[in-house]
């Protein structure tokens, strides 16, 4: 079992190119990859999507990539001397017109826009793609390790809530037969209080049987037990199980609602409230499962 939450970082350097990859994942119904790439790195997007899609099946993935040219001598300085002379000439013209002897010096002219330009070595896209792939592998490995660690905690927590749900189901199962006998006792007591005598035993039995049919929850309890058993199997399953668990938790909640509406018993009603609380805790945690 893996969580959908995690992060990972990878860095690779080769032939003067350094690529750093940062990954962050959070919950999402499907796989949603969001590469945050500058325009000059757009050629890496397909590689990023393929690498992530081969490892991650669900979750929103934020991808940040930084590429630096770290080779010695990779930067060169280019000066536009004609533009520098034009700036100097314009400054001298203005100085004469306003009677100011101060004109910009060399350092000031070099700081003017367009005079000095830094040229970087042209990017080797194929090489950068290979270096990016190496950094992606590192980041994905770190990310998966974190997701698996978080998944282990999720598994433990889900198991605890499943145990609680199973115990509550057993309590309801144990109480269910007493609902009918209690109803019969209350009915007979009420008739006695009203001074009704000579009630046909068969008619009384029919009334109790009707009530027993209305509040029968054997099938719901059986299905609930099956769902809990299936959920335990998913806890030990590999791959993309979050969607299956999410569907199953909806079925468990449906059975709990039906039990609560049919039981007509205060003790069972309280157990159902507790059961639904455990199911809701399961549902919240399952949203984090891949």
Instruction: Pick the most confident of 179-183, 185-189, 219-223, 280-284.
Output: 280-284
The torsion defined by the Cα of 143, 148, 154 and 156, in degrees rounded to 10, comes to -150
pLDDT at site 210: 62
pTM of the complete model beyond 0.75: no
152 Cβ neighbours under 8 A, 6+ residues apart: 1
- pLDDT at position 178 over 60: yes
The per-residue pLDDT for range 263-287, each reduced to its tens digit, is 777 888 899 999 999 999 999 999 9
CB atoms near residue 195 (< 10 Å): 6
pLDDT at site 268: 86
Mean pLDDT score, 122-143: 92
Mean pLDDT, all residues of the chain: 86
pLDDT at site 275: 95
Q: Among 3.20.20.70, 3.40.50.1820, 1.10.10.10, 3.30.230.10, name the CATH number for the domain at 6-72+123-147.
A: 3.30.230.10
Domain residue ranges in the chain: 6-72+123-147, 75-120, 150-286
- pLDDT at position 157 over 90: yes
Structure tokens at 245: 């668990």
């Amino acid at each position: 079992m893996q969580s959908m939450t995690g992060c990972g970082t990878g860095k690779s350097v080769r032939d003067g190119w350094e690529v750093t990859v940062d990954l962050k994942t959070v919950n999402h119904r499907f796989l949603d990859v969001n590469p945050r790439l500058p325009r000059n790195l757009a050629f890496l997007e397909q590689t990023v999507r393929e690498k992530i899609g081969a490892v991650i099946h669900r979750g929103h993935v934020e991808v940040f990539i930084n590429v630096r040219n770290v080779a010695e001598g990779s930067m060169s300085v280019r000066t536009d001397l004609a533009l520098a002379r034009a700036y100097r000439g314009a400054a001298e013209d203005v100085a004469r017109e306003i009677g100011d002897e101060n004109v910009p010096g060399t350092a000031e002219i070099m700081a003017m826009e367009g005079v000095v330009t830094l040229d970087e070595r042209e990017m080797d896209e194929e090489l950068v793609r290979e270096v990016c792939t190496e950094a992606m592998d590192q980041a994905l490995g770190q990310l998966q390790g974190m997701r698996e660690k978080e998944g282990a905690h999720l598994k433990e927590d889900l198991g605890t809530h499943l145990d609680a749900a199973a115990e509550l189901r057993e309590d309801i199962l144990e109480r269910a037969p007493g609902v009918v006998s209690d109803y019969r006792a209350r009915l007979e007591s009420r008739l006695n209080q009203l001074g009704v005598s000579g009630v046909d035993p068969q008619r009384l039995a029919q009334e109790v049987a009707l009530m027993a049919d209305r509040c029968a929850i054997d099938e719901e309890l059986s299905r609930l037990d099956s769902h809990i058993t299936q959920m335990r199997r998913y806890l030990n399953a590999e791959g993309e199980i979050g969607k299956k668990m999410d569907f199953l938790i909806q079925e468990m909640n449906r059975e709990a609602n039906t039990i609560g509406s049919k039981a007509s018993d205060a003790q069972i009603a309280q157990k159902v409230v507790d059961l639904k609380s455990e199911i809701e805790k399961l549902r919240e945690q399952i949203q984090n499962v891949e």
